[in-house]
Amino acid sequence: MQSINTNFKRGVDYIGVGVGAVIIHPDGRLFLAQRGEKAKNERGTWEFPGGAVEFGETLAAALQREMREEYGIEIAVGELLDVVDHILPDEGQHWVSPSFLCTIVAGEPVILEAGKCAQIGWFHPHALPAPLSLVTQRNAAHYLARWPAAKVVTTNRSL
């Protein structure tokens, strides 16, 4: 019987699957998080939050688990927005990233993993913070292509 090397890292030693949540507030704003100094890649960029899919876990279950662990919220996972090739040659990483439209069904987002996340906020789709992660750039473009007349709001842009 051949042994399995458990030291392999997702996204580095083999292609990883990282699922994302495009969380939509009832007023049309979108939830984004800024990647912290302990994030696996693209530190300092803003993103639609998410995380790695564990073996045997569905995409929706992974998203729900990640949102509970990182932000203390329960989400409903809706339709698939897109699937993005997340290839980071300078960081030696390769991920495949499906992103889903989601809503919060319980809780208010707070940062529970401060090293991985520097700050969070709600933003109008036409006024997202910079810089955006590569996946979030693609997600935002696909979102705005489908909903170009996203609702304009004048409320406070952050939590």
pLDDT of 25 higher than 70: yes
Residue 76 lies in a domain: yes
Residue 135, Cβ density class (10 Å: 0-12 exposed, 13-18 middle, ≥19 buried): buried
Span 26-68, pLDDT tens digits: 999 999 999 999 998 999 999 999 999 999 999 999 999 999 9
Domain assignment of residue 121, yes or no: yes
* Sheet of 50-52, strands arranged across: 50-52, 16-23, 93-106, 74-88
Q: Residue 119 falls within a domain, yes or no?
A: yes
Cβ-contact 83, 96 below 8 angstroms: yes
Give residue 20's pLDDT.
Answer: 98
In a domain, 8, yes or no: no
Q: What is the CA radius of gyration of the chain?
A: 16
**What pLDDT digit, counting tens, does each position of 123-148 carry?**
999 999 999 999 999 999 999 999 88
The answer to whether residue 154 sits within a structural domain is no
Which CATH number is 58's domain given? 3.90.79.10
**In-domain check, residue 152:** no
- The reply to whether the predicted model has a pTM over 0.95 is no
Per the structure, the count of domains in the chain is: 1
pLDDT at 50: 97
Whether 75 is in a domain gets the answer: yes
User: In terms of residue numbers, what domain contains 82?
Assistant: 16-146
Residue ranges of E strands in the chain:
16-23, 30-35, 46-47, 50-52, 74-88, 93-106, 117-123
Q: Would 3 be classed as within a structural domain? A: no
